[in-house]
Amino acid sequence: MHRISIMEAAAVLSVLLLCSTIHTAAAVADGLLWNGNFELGPKPADMKGTEVLKHDAIPGWKIFGFVEYIKSGQKQGDMLLVVPEGAFAVRLGNEATIEQTINVTKGMYYSLTFSAARTCAQEETLNVSVAPDFGVLPMQTLYSSSGWDSYAWAFQAEYNTATIKLHNPGVEEDPACGPLIDSIAIKALYPPRPSRDNILKNGGFEEGPYIFPNTSWGVLVPPNIEDDHSPLPAWMVESLKAVKYIDADHFSVPQGRRAVELVAGKESAIAQVARTVVGKTYQLFFSVGDANNACEGSMVVEAFANKETLKVPYQSKGKGGFKRAVLKFVATSTRTRIMFYSTFYTMRSDDFSSLCGPVIDDVKLLSVRKPRKLA
């Protein structure tokens, strides 16, 4: 029988600890993906002008098709290319793809957040996928004057690894036309549940996509996102345009740390289907305010529950603030759709090319024997 020495045992233990450390380091954590901001670039030998020549030239990523490595301040004709964070980004030309494989927890929901800017094509879209899920995000509408917006997209992990792909499906005359991509991050989502204090799930919007700490423009949750795979758990974006997910670090938020800004009038709506009891009376409480982002003027939020509608006017000075509202209804079904949208389009008073709108937060649905008065 072979006996190992103390030194041999120590060596084996060191290897085991090293393996454990490597495994832990490989597990995905909330925040930027490895080289998710593309600050680590290709070697000069792997580039021809701005074009990246090798599949694995950008650390942490694989590329396919015409991909460019763009430095902030670079010019394309008369257009100055600006990078939202750091000094570098990538541009996806016709049918180009970037991808990265990460470790995930099978069955868990995740949200991706990334920044993107349209360049020369008018009808740019971006295909985001983690097999078998995929989504095509329209980028025609610019929500901020900087030209950059951050987008969120969610998926459920089918396996213990996930390959994140961003693909430009466009075919333009100029093969270099395509979206600029920067700052790709991930966040694990924990499905919220109803509670004794709220029949709705995630009524305060505290569970949602990753927001970059050093950006001040929030995150867009794209249209037609179903609740099963929504970056805003339990909520659906039932509209032609996105809603904006905002944080208390950069905006005025009525309650907690997060809220939703309805940035595109009636084309920007959120909804949730709640379990109700036929014949019971319910009260829907919610806050309407502004995000302290120079979004001024007369705003109206329309709330819908069953067949009842409530219009809540809010006169915004663009400096923060909110008011509470309540909608009472009697359920006529075991499932009742709750929905909110903004009646009007609004632009920021300090920036007439940036869409903005009223903020919704602290949404609560309660069944009542005796209706409560609004606090």
Average pLDDT, the chain: 85
Task: Identify the pLDDT of residue 152.
Answer: 94
The set of residues, in sequence order, having a beta carbon less than 8 Å from that of 326 and lying 6+ positions away, is 283, 284, 285, 286, 310, 374
The set of residues, in sequence order, having a beta carbon less than 8 Å from that of 238 and lying 6+ positions away, is 223, 224, 269, 270, 271, 339
Using alpha carbons, select from 19, 123, 130, 142 the residue that is nearest to residue 82.
142
Question: What is the pLDDT averaged over residues 64-82?
Answer: 80
Question: What is the pLDDT averaged over residues 297-306?
Answer: 93
Q: In this structure, are 242 and 322 located in the same domain?
A: yes
pLDDT in tens, 176-232: 778 889 999 999 999 888 888 999 999 999 999 999 987 788 999 988 776 568 899
Q: In this structure, are 181 and 318 located in the same domain?
A: no
Task: Identify the pLDDT of residue 54.
Answer: 94
Q: Picking from 81-85, 216-220, 261-265, which range would have the lowest pLDDT averaged per residue?
A: 81-85
Q: In this structure, are 286 and 154 located in the same domain?
A: no
Q: In this structure, are 175 and 220 located in the same domain?
A: no
Please give the Cα distance from 125 to 118 (Å, whole number): 9
- 117 part of a folded domain: yes
Q: Picking from 52-56, 161-165, 366-370, which range would have the lowest pLDDT averaged per residue?
A: 366-370
- 15 part of a folded domain: no
Backbone angles phi, psi at 265, to 5 degrees: 55, -140
For the whole prediction, is pTM greater than 0.85?
yes
Task: Identify the pLDDT of residue 372.
Answer: 57
Which of residues 148, 168, 189 is at a domain's end? 189
Q: In this structure, are 251 and 208 located in the same domain?
A: yes
Q: In this structure, are 105 and 206 located in the same domain?
A: no
Which of residues 146, 162, 189 is at a domain's end? 189
Report the CATH number that the domain containing residue 136 is assigned in CATH.
2.60.120.260
H or E stretch including 6? helix 6-26
Backbone angles phi, psi at 229, to 5 degrees: -125, 40
**Structure letter (DSSP) for residue 195:** B
Q: In this structure, are 210 and 182 located in the same domain?
A: no
% of the chain exceeding 70 in pLDDT: 84
SS3 45: helix
Q: In this structure, are 126 and 57 located in the same domain?
A: yes
Neighbours of 106 (CB within 10 A): 11
* Residues spanned by the domain of 65: 25-189
Q: In this structure, are 195 and 180 located in the same domain?
A: no
Task: Identify the pLDDT of residue 134.
Answer: 85
Q: Is the CB of residue 33 less than 8 Å from the CB of residue 186?
A: yes
Q: In this structure, are 152 and 230 located in the same domain?
A: no
Q: In this structure, are 166 and 200 located in the same domain?
A: no
- 10 part of a folded domain: no
The domain total for the chain is 2
Neighbours of 319 (CB within 10 A): 13
- 7 part of a folded domain: no
